[in-house]
Each structure stands twice: as C-alpha cells, then as structure tokens.
Amino acid sequence: MAKATVPLFFLLFSFISVCKLSTVNGQKTWCVAKPSSDPGTLLVNINYACSQVDCRVLQKGCSCFYPDNLINHASIAMNLYYQSRGRNHWNCFFGNSALIVTTDPSYGNCIYE
C-alpha cells in the first residue's frame, strides 16, 4: 500500500497561516465589547456567542461571573466565540460593537484564552 505524503511547504504554510491568525504584529489578540455599546446589543451578543460556545465561566460562582454586568459578560462571551473561531477579525465584529485588543483583559481568576 502506498504511503500518502504531504509536501513540506504545505505543512509549513498551514502552520504559519494558523499562527498568523492568532496575532497582530506578533501579539496575541482578544475580542472585547466596545464600552459605547448599548445594553440591548450586548445582550444579543451574549445570547449569540453563548449559543455557539460554552459560556459556563459566566455562571454565578464561576471564575468570570464577577463583575456581574453586561459589558463584562459580553466581552467574555464574545472573546470565547472569537477564540473558538480562529481569531479572525470578522469573528469579532458583532455588528460593530466589538474591538480587537492586544492587551490581555484577564483579571483575577478570570483568564481570557
């Protein structure tokens, strides 16, 4: 039986492409809610993102529940979605209510992936 081989350049290109998605000028990126976003939009963002990814970290008693406010919860949910979809800029649009940042928004025990 013949053994399938993958050209080295393809593997290298794939690796570089995947790594490039997770950085901006070599820095890791996160997706957060714009502070100017209205509460209705943030709630829609939370509901959408959490319908697509596991948002258990936002449950009461979990690491990212506090502070218990819409902008915090939306930022966490939106970032979970963004990270799970490969950190593409279009996965952090949310109707123009999100920002891609290069400063880690993690706090306390709430670690943004």
From residue 85, how far is each of 37, 59, 92 by CA, in Å? Answer: 22, 22, 10
Sequence ranges of the domains in the chain: 26-101
The top-level CATH class assigned to 26-101 is mainly alpha
Q: What is the pLDDT of residues 29-68, one digit of tens each?
A: 999 999 999 999 999 999 999 999 999 999 999 999 999 9
Q: What is the pLDDT of residues 67-104, one digit of tens each?
A: 999 999 999 999 999 999 999 999 999 999 999 999 99
Q: Inform me whether the pLDDT recorded for 108 exceeds 80.
A: yes
Query: What pLDDT score does 25 carry?
Result: 67
Instruction: Measure CA 44 to chain center.
Output: 16
Three-state helix/strand/coil letters over the chain? CCCCCCCHHHHHHHHHHHHHHCEECCEECEEEECCCCCHHHHHHHHHHHHHHCCCHHHCCCCCCCCCCCHHHHHHHHHHHHHHHCCCCHHHHCHHHCEEEECCCCCECCECCC
Query: What pLDDT score does 23 carry?
Result: 53
